A and B are shown apart, each in its own frame.
Chain A
Amino acid sequence: MTDSAHLVRKLPNDIGGAEAGPIDMTEHELLPWEKRCHALADVLDFKKIINTEEKRRGVEALGAQMIGNLSYYERWIVAFGNILFQKGLLTPEELARKMDEVAARHAAAEAGGA
């Protein structure tokens, strides 16, 4: 086996028995967007647009670096984007344009509210 094969054979979410530090019992209340993201995951599964197992696979496919640095729901929403592109249901351009539009809306709302 080459040195890199373990990166392929053991997925980054497969951590049972791994070395790890103490449990941090701090809990946080979900942010509104995080709860929406959870609800979106459920609805996508109900309709089998993205089933729950595909979502898990999509998160694994982000790789160890992204899994290590993105939060739980950040991983989910990026995985949803990738899977929707793979299925031809969205294009990268559509999402990029829509994100710019949403960001502009937020900026306008903040300017208006200030």
Chain B
Amino acid sequence: MSATHLPEPPFDGVVWALGEAPAFAAGDRVRILARSPIGHYRVPTYLRGKSGTVEAVIEPAGLDNEQEGFGRNAGAKRHYYRIAIPMTEIWPDYAGSPRDGLRIEIFETWLERS
């Protein structure tokens, strides 16, 4: 069972390095992890543990901003995804239309398949 949606390598026999291809693809169901880093983070707490759908892979991979916040200007590139989450998933008492939704970009290290 493949855990990822690896794109087909351009040539037969070419092996992609670990982490080189995004683990998720548009349409995948994902859950935003509920961990609590201290010091600096860019995943707001109101979305921790919420489930959504990958809308798009944001290319190119970006620098992990939890590390960048402490002065790292290179290294630790992470795949980045635009995630779609229904408002009713985030707020059980959401007062607007059940169609309403939220979009946010989240690094792969914060996502798991759901």
Q: Is chain B in direct contact with chain A in the complex (CB below 8 A)?
A: yes
The range of chain A's interface size is 10 to 19
CB distance from A54 to the nearest CB of B (A): 6
**With an 8 A cutoff between CB atoms, is B69 at the interface?**
yes
Q: Is A10 an interface residue, CB under 8 A from the partner?
A: yes
Given A9-B36, A9-B38, A11-B40, is A54 in contact with B68 using a C-beta cutoff of 8 Å?
yes
Contact stretch, chosen from B10-18, B41-49, B106-114: B41-49
| C-alpha gap A10/B34 in the complex (Å) | 12
| Beta-carbon contact of A57 and B70 below 8 Å | yes
| Complex contacts, B44 vs chain A, CB 8 Å | 14, 16
Q: State in angstroms the CA–CA spacing of A8 and B40 once bound together.
A: 10
Chain A residues in 8 Å Cβ range of B90: 17
How many pairs, one residue from A and one from B, have CB atoms within 8 Å of each other in the complex? 37
Q: With A9-B38, A48-B73 in contact, do A53 and B45 touch (Cβ < 8 Å)?
A: no
Instruction: Using A17-B46, A17-B91 as known contacts, say yes or no to A53 and B69 having CB atoms under 8 A apart.
Output: yes
Residue of A nearest to B41 (CB): A11
A60–B40 CB distance below 8 A = yes
A106 close to chain B: CB less than 8 A? no
Question: Is residue B60 within 8 Å, beta carbon to beta carbon, of the partner chain?
Answer: no
Q: Are A51 and B71 in contact, with the CB atoms below 8 A?
A: yes
| CB-based contact A87/B45 at 8 Å | no
Do A51 and B73 touch across chains, with their CB atoms under 8 A apart?
A: yes
**Is A36 among interface residues, defined by CB-CB distance under 8 A?**
no
Interchain CB contact under 8 A, B36 and A57 = no
CB pairs A–B below 8 angstroms (10 shown): A9-B38, A14-B41, A16-B46, A17-B46, A48-B73, A51-B71, A54-B71, A56-B69, A57-B69, A60-B40
Chain B residues in contact with chain A, CB under 8 A? Answer: 36, 38-41, 44-47, 65, 68-71, 73, 90-91
Known: A14-B45, A16-B46, A56-B69. 11 other contacts (CB 8 A): A8-B38, A9-B38, A11-B41, A17-B91, A51-B68, A54-B68, A54-B70, A54-B71, A57-B69, A57-B70, A87-B71
